[in-house]
Amino acid sequence: MIIKVLDGYSLNPGDLSWDGLKEIGQTTVYDRTSPEEIFERIKDADVVLTNKVQLTSSVLNSLPKLKYIGVLATGYNVVDIKAAQERGIVVTNIPSYSTDSVAQLVFSHLLAIVSRVEHYTEENKQGKWAGCADFCYWDTPLHELAGKNFGIIGLGHIGSKVAEIAHAFGMKVIAYTSKDQCSLPEWVEKASLDRLFKISDVVSLHCPLNESTLHIVDESRLNQMKASSILINTGRGPLVDENALAEALNERKIYAAGIDVLSSEPPKADNPLLTARNCFITPHIGWATKEARERLMKITLENLKAFVAGSPINEVTNR
Protein backbone atom coordinates (compact mmCIF):
# COMPACT_ATOMS: atom_id res chain seq x y z
CA MET A 1 0.00 0.00 0.00
CA ILE A 2 1.39 3.39 -1.05
CA ILE A 3 0.54 6.26 1.30
CA LYS A 4 1.20 9.91 0.46
CA VAL A 5 0.84 12.83 2.90
CA LEU A 6 0.52 16.06 0.94
CA ASP A 7 0.97 18.71 3.66
CA GLY A 8 2.30 17.09 6.78
CA TYR A 9 4.26 19.96 8.30
CA SER A 10 1.37 21.73 10.02
CA LEU A 11 0.30 18.53 11.79
CA ASN A 12 3.83 17.38 12.54
CA PRO A 13 6.60 19.99 12.37
CA GLY A 14 8.90 17.50 14.05
CA ASP A 15 7.48 16.86 17.51
CA LEU A 16 5.31 13.86 16.53
CA SER A 17 6.01 10.63 14.63
CA TRP A 18 4.83 9.19 11.33
CA ASP A 19 5.91 5.67 12.34
CA GLY A 20 2.33 4.46 12.73
CA LEU A 21 1.65 5.18 9.06
CA LYS A 22 4.89 3.56 7.99
CA GLU A 23 3.79 0.34 9.69
CA ILE A 24 0.70 0.28 7.48
CA GLY A 25 2.32 0.97 4.12
CA GLN A 26 5.07 2.64 2.12
CA THR A 27 4.75 6.23 3.32
CA THR A 28 6.01 9.48 1.82
CA VAL A 29 5.43 12.71 3.72
CA TYR A 30 5.61 16.07 1.96
CA ASP A 31 5.74 19.17 4.14
CA ARG A 32 3.78 21.15 1.56
CA THR A 33 2.39 20.55 -1.93
CA SER A 34 1.52 23.17 -4.53
CA PRO A 35 -1.40 22.63 -6.93
CA GLU A 36 1.08 21.97 -9.74
CA GLU A 37 2.73 19.16 -7.77
CA ILE A 38 -0.38 17.24 -6.69
CA PHE A 39 -0.82 14.80 -9.58
CA GLU A 40 2.83 13.84 -9.95
CA ARG A 41 3.13 13.16 -6.22
CA ILE A 42 0.02 11.00 -5.79
CA LYS A 43 -0.49 9.39 -9.22
CA ASP A 44 0.57 5.99 -7.82
CA ALA A 45 -1.01 6.36 -4.36
CA ASP A 46 -3.55 4.02 -2.80
CA VAL A 47 -4.00 6.38 0.16
CA VAL A 48 -3.72 10.17 0.29
CA LEU A 49 -3.77 12.26 3.44
CA THR A 50 -4.41 15.98 3.14
CA ASN A 51 -5.18 18.91 5.39
CA LYS A 52 -5.51 21.96 3.16
CA VAL A 53 -4.35 20.70 -0.27
CA GLN A 54 -7.45 20.54 -2.45
CA LEU A 55 -8.43 17.36 -4.27
CA THR A 56 -10.82 18.43 -7.02
CA SER A 57 -12.91 16.27 -9.32
CA SER A 58 -10.38 16.69 -12.14
CA VAL A 59 -7.59 15.47 -9.87
CA LEU A 60 -9.62 12.53 -8.55
CA ASN A 61 -10.69 11.46 -12.03
CA SER A 62 -7.04 11.12 -13.01
CA LEU A 63 -6.15 8.78 -10.12
CA PRO A 64 -7.42 5.26 -10.91
CA LYS A 65 -5.41 3.64 -8.07
CA LEU A 66 -6.67 5.91 -5.30
CA LYS A 67 -8.90 4.11 -2.80
CA TYR A 68 -8.85 6.30 0.31
CA ILE A 69 -8.52 9.97 1.28
CA GLY A 70 -7.94 10.88 4.90
CA VAL A 71 -8.63 14.55 5.65
CA LEU A 72 -6.37 15.66 8.50
CA ALA A 73 -9.02 17.98 9.91
CA THR A 74 -12.69 18.09 10.82
CA GLY A 75 -13.77 20.20 7.82
CA TYR A 76 -13.56 18.31 4.54
CA ASN A 77 -14.44 20.92 1.93
CA VAL A 78 -10.94 20.48 0.42
CA VAL A 79 -12.20 17.25 -1.21
CA ASP A 80 -14.85 16.97 -3.92
CA ILE A 81 -16.91 14.41 -2.00
CA LYS A 82 -19.36 13.79 -4.86
CA ALA A 83 -16.54 12.97 -7.26
CA ALA A 84 -14.90 10.73 -4.67
CA GLN A 85 -18.12 8.80 -4.11
CA GLU A 86 -18.63 8.36 -7.84
CA ARG A 87 -15.17 6.79 -8.07
CA GLY A 88 -15.69 4.63 -4.97
CA ILE A 89 -13.04 6.49 -2.97
CA VAL A 90 -13.61 6.43 0.79
CA VAL A 91 -13.12 9.82 2.48
CA THR A 92 -12.75 10.22 6.23
CA ASN A 93 -12.24 13.18 8.54
CA ILE A 94 -11.11 13.75 12.14
CA PRO A 95 -14.02 14.78 14.38
CA SER A 96 -13.75 16.39 17.79
CA TYR A 97 -9.98 16.21 18.20
CA SER A 98 -9.49 19.94 18.96
CA THR A 99 -12.56 20.72 21.09
CA ASP A 100 -10.71 21.57 24.30
CA SER A 101 -7.92 23.44 22.53
CA VAL A 102 -10.24 25.66 20.48
CA ALA A 103 -12.45 26.37 23.48
CA GLN A 104 -9.32 27.34 25.40
CA LEU A 105 -8.34 29.78 22.66
CA VAL A 106 -11.79 31.37 22.69
CA PHE A 107 -11.22 32.41 26.28
CA SER A 108 -7.57 33.27 25.65
CA HIS A 109 -8.86 35.88 23.20
CA LEU A 110 -11.64 37.02 25.48
CA LEU A 111 -9.39 37.38 28.52
CA ALA A 112 -6.74 39.13 26.44
CA ILE A 113 -9.35 41.70 25.46
CA VAL A 114 -10.93 42.29 28.87
CA SER A 115 -7.81 42.01 31.03
CA ARG A 116 -5.02 43.04 28.62
CA VAL A 117 -2.31 41.02 30.40
CA GLU A 118 0.14 41.24 27.50
CA HIS A 119 -0.39 45.00 27.20
CA TYR A 120 0.39 45.59 30.86
CA THR A 121 3.40 43.30 30.76
CA GLU A 122 4.81 45.49 27.99
CA GLU A 123 3.84 48.66 29.84
CA ASN A 124 5.74 47.45 32.90
CA LYS A 125 8.81 46.78 30.78
CA GLN A 126 8.62 50.43 29.74
CA GLY A 127 8.55 51.53 33.39
CA LYS A 128 4.96 52.75 33.39
CA TRP A 129 4.07 51.14 36.73
CA ALA A 130 7.44 51.92 38.29
CA GLY A 131 6.95 55.58 37.43
CA CYS A 132 3.34 55.74 38.59
CA ALA A 133 2.33 57.91 41.55
CA ASP A 134 -0.24 55.31 42.67
CA PHE A 135 0.09 51.70 43.85
CA CYS A 136 -1.75 50.55 40.70
CA TYR A 137 -1.68 51.53 37.05
CA TRP A 138 -4.03 51.03 34.12
CA ASP A 139 -4.72 52.93 30.93
CA THR A 140 -7.33 50.71 29.27
CA PRO A 141 -10.87 49.70 30.23
CA LEU A 142 -10.91 46.53 32.35
CA HIS A 143 -14.03 44.35 32.52
CA GLU A 144 -15.43 41.46 34.54
CA LEU A 145 -17.06 38.57 32.66
CA ALA A 146 -19.47 37.47 35.39
CA GLY A 147 -23.02 38.57 34.66
CA LYS A 148 -22.38 39.33 31.00
CA ASN A 149 -24.35 37.73 28.14
CA PHE A 150 -22.34 35.21 26.11
CA GLY A 151 -23.91 34.48 22.71
CA ILE A 152 -22.91 31.28 20.90
CA ILE A 153 -23.79 30.52 17.29
CA GLY A 154 -23.68 26.75 16.93
CA LEU A 155 -23.79 24.21 19.78
CA GLY A 156 -21.75 21.33 18.42
CA HIS A 157 -18.82 19.84 20.34
CA ILE A 158 -16.82 23.07 20.51
CA GLY A 159 -19.78 25.39 21.02
CA SER A 160 -21.03 23.23 23.88
CA LYS A 161 -17.62 23.22 25.55
CA VAL A 162 -17.41 27.01 25.19
CA ALA A 163 -20.89 27.28 26.72
CA GLU A 164 -19.75 25.26 29.76
CA ILE A 165 -16.72 27.51 30.29
CA ALA A 166 -18.77 30.69 29.87
CA HIS A 167 -21.26 29.38 32.44
CA ALA A 168 -18.39 28.61 34.83
CA PHE A 169 -17.31 32.26 34.52
CA GLY A 170 -20.77 33.25 35.69
CA MET A 171 -21.95 34.43 32.29
CA LYS A 172 -25.47 34.01 30.93
CA VAL A 173 -25.32 31.73 27.88
CA ILE A 174 -27.53 32.49 24.87
CA ALA A 175 -27.40 30.11 21.91
CA TYR A 176 -28.53 30.05 18.31
CA THR A 177 -28.90 26.33 17.64
CA SER A 178 -31.09 23.78 15.90
CA LYS A 179 -31.39 21.86 19.18
CA ASP A 180 -34.67 22.01 21.11
CA GLN A 181 -34.72 24.12 24.27
CA CYS A 182 -35.74 21.06 26.28
CA SER A 183 -32.54 19.26 25.26
CA LEU A 184 -30.31 22.13 26.40
CA PRO A 185 -28.92 22.70 29.89
CA GLU A 186 -31.31 24.81 31.94
CA TRP A 187 -28.76 27.63 32.01
CA VAL A 188 -28.73 27.97 28.19
CA GLU A 189 -31.31 30.20 26.53
CA LYS A 190 -32.15 29.32 22.95
CA ALA A 191 -32.61 32.53 20.96
CA SER A 192 -33.06 33.89 17.46
CA LEU A 193 -30.10 35.49 15.71
CA ASP A 194 -31.70 38.91 16.11
CA ARG A 195 -32.04 38.53 19.88
CA LEU A 196 -28.58 36.99 20.25
CA PHE A 197 -26.81 39.83 18.44
CA LYS A 198 -28.82 42.52 20.21
CA ILE A 199 -28.33 41.40 23.80
CA SER A 200 -24.96 39.62 23.81
CA ASP A 201 -21.87 41.20 25.30
CA VAL A 202 -19.79 38.51 23.59
CA VAL A 203 -20.66 36.65 20.38
CA SER A 204 -18.63 33.51 19.57
CA LEU A 205 -18.93 31.64 16.26
CA HIS A 206 -19.01 27.83 16.23
CA CYS A 207 -21.21 26.95 13.26
CA PRO A 208 -20.08 25.15 10.09
CA LEU A 209 -19.33 27.18 6.98
CA ASN A 210 -21.94 26.67 4.26
CA GLU A 211 -24.17 28.73 1.99
CA SER A 212 -26.47 29.74 4.84
CA THR A 213 -23.66 30.78 7.21
CA LEU A 214 -21.38 32.57 4.74
CA HIS A 215 -21.02 36.13 6.16
CA ILE A 216 -23.45 35.31 8.95
CA VAL A 217 -21.75 38.27 10.62
CA ASP A 218 -22.30 41.09 8.14
CA GLU A 219 -22.92 44.82 8.34
CA SER A 220 -26.53 44.42 9.43
CA ARG A 221 -25.66 41.99 12.23
CA LEU A 222 -22.77 44.14 13.42
CA ASN A 223 -25.13 47.13 13.55
CA GLN A 224 -27.34 45.14 15.93
CA MET A 225 -24.51 44.63 18.43
CA LYS A 226 -23.76 46.78 21.45
CA ALA A 227 -20.95 49.31 21.17
CA SER A 228 -19.35 47.53 24.12
CA SER A 229 -19.60 44.04 22.61
CA ILE A 230 -16.87 41.62 21.54
CA LEU A 231 -16.87 39.23 18.57
CA ILE A 232 -14.84 36.00 18.72
CA ASN A 233 -14.25 33.87 15.60
CA THR A 234 -12.33 30.60 15.93
CA GLY A 235 -14.55 28.84 13.39
CA ARG A 236 -14.03 29.73 9.74
CA GLY A 237 -12.92 33.07 8.31
CA PRO A 238 -15.74 33.48 5.76
CA LEU A 239 -18.34 33.38 8.53
CA VAL A 240 -17.48 37.08 8.87
CA ASP A 241 -17.62 39.88 6.33
CA GLU A 242 -14.13 41.18 7.06
CA ASN A 243 -14.62 44.59 5.49
CA ALA A 244 -17.78 45.14 7.53
CA LEU A 245 -16.06 44.01 10.74
CA ALA A 246 -13.05 46.27 10.16
CA GLU A 247 -15.40 49.20 9.60
CA ALA A 248 -17.41 48.36 12.72
CA LEU A 249 -14.23 48.24 14.81
CA ASN A 250 -12.74 51.40 13.36
CA GLU A 251 -15.99 53.31 13.78
CA ARG A 252 -16.42 51.95 17.34
CA LYS A 253 -19.71 50.23 16.52
CA ILE A 254 -18.38 47.28 18.54
CA TYR A 255 -15.58 47.26 21.09
CA ALA A 256 -13.22 44.49 19.96
CA ALA A 257 -12.75 41.25 18.04
CA GLY A 258 -10.69 38.13 18.74
CA ILE A 259 -9.94 36.31 15.49
CA ASP A 260 -8.10 33.02 14.82
CA VAL A 261 -9.28 32.44 11.25
CA LEU A 262 -9.42 34.63 8.14
CA SER A 263 -11.00 34.32 4.71
CA SER A 264 -7.59 33.80 3.11
CA GLU A 265 -4.83 32.01 5.00
CA PRO A 266 -2.14 33.13 5.23
CA PRO A 267 -3.80 36.55 4.97
CA LYS A 268 -3.26 38.95 2.13
CA ALA A 269 -1.28 42.01 3.13
CA ASP A 270 -4.28 44.28 2.51
CA ASN A 271 -6.72 42.35 4.74
CA PRO A 272 -8.52 45.18 6.58
CA LEU A 273 -8.58 43.30 9.89
CA LEU A 274 -4.79 43.37 10.14
CA THR A 275 -4.91 47.10 10.87
CA ALA A 276 -8.37 47.42 12.42
CA ARG A 277 -8.75 48.99 15.87
CA ASN A 278 -8.94 46.51 18.76
CA CYS A 279 -8.69 43.49 16.47
CA PHE A 280 -6.65 40.73 18.12
CA ILE A 281 -5.56 38.10 15.58
CA THR A 282 -3.85 34.75 16.10
CA PRO A 283 -2.60 32.73 13.08
CA HIS A 284 -5.08 29.80 13.06
CA ILE A 285 -3.61 28.12 16.13
CA GLY A 286 -6.74 26.95 17.93
CA TRP A 287 -6.20 23.38 16.71
CA ALA A 288 -2.41 23.39 17.04
CA THR A 289 -1.70 22.43 20.64
CA LYS A 290 0.50 19.35 20.88
CA GLU A 291 -2.24 17.47 22.68
CA ALA A 292 -4.79 18.17 19.92
CA ARG A 293 -2.32 17.20 17.21
CA GLU A 294 -1.50 13.97 19.04
CA ARG A 295 -5.22 13.14 19.05
CA LEU A 296 -5.43 14.02 15.36
CA MET A 297 -2.53 11.68 14.55
CA LYS A 298 -4.07 8.90 16.65
CA ILE A 299 -7.47 9.19 14.96
CA THR A 300 -5.80 9.37 11.54
CA LEU A 301 -4.21 5.97 12.20
CA GLU A 302 -7.45 4.54 13.58
CA ASN A 303 -9.36 5.72 10.50
CA LEU A 304 -6.86 4.17 8.10
CA LYS A 305 -6.63 0.89 10.03
CA ALA A 306 -10.43 0.62 10.04
CA PHE A 307 -10.49 1.19 6.28
CA VAL A 308 -7.84 -1.46 5.69
CA ALA A 309 -9.86 -3.87 7.84
CA GLY A 310 -12.92 -3.23 5.66
CA SER A 311 -14.98 -1.29 8.19
CA PRO A 312 -14.39 2.45 7.63
CA ILE A 313 -15.09 4.87 10.48
CA ASN A 314 -15.58 8.65 10.42
CA GLU A 315 -16.52 8.38 6.75
CA VAL A 316 -17.96 11.51 5.15
CA THR A 317 -20.49 11.51 2.34
CA ASN A 318 -22.01 13.99 -0.07
CA ARG A 319 -25.02 15.43 1.74
At a CB cut-off of 8 Å and minimum separation 6, what does 149 contact? Answer: 171, 172, 174, 199, 200, 201, 202
Catalytic residue among 109, 157, 236, 293: 236
Task: Give one word for 154, left, alpha or beta, with left for phi > 0 and alpha for psi -120 to 50.
Answer: left
Catalytic residue among 37, 265, 277, 291: 265
- How far lies 194's CA from each of 197, 199, 241, in Å? 5, 9, 17
Question: Any catalytic annotation for residue 236?
Answer: yes
Question: Any catalytic annotation for residue 143?
Answer: no
Question: Any catalytic annotation for residue 206?
Answer: no
The Cα 248–Cα 82 span in angstroms is 39
Catalytic residue among 247, 284, 302, 315: 284
Residues belonging to the active site: 236, 265, 284
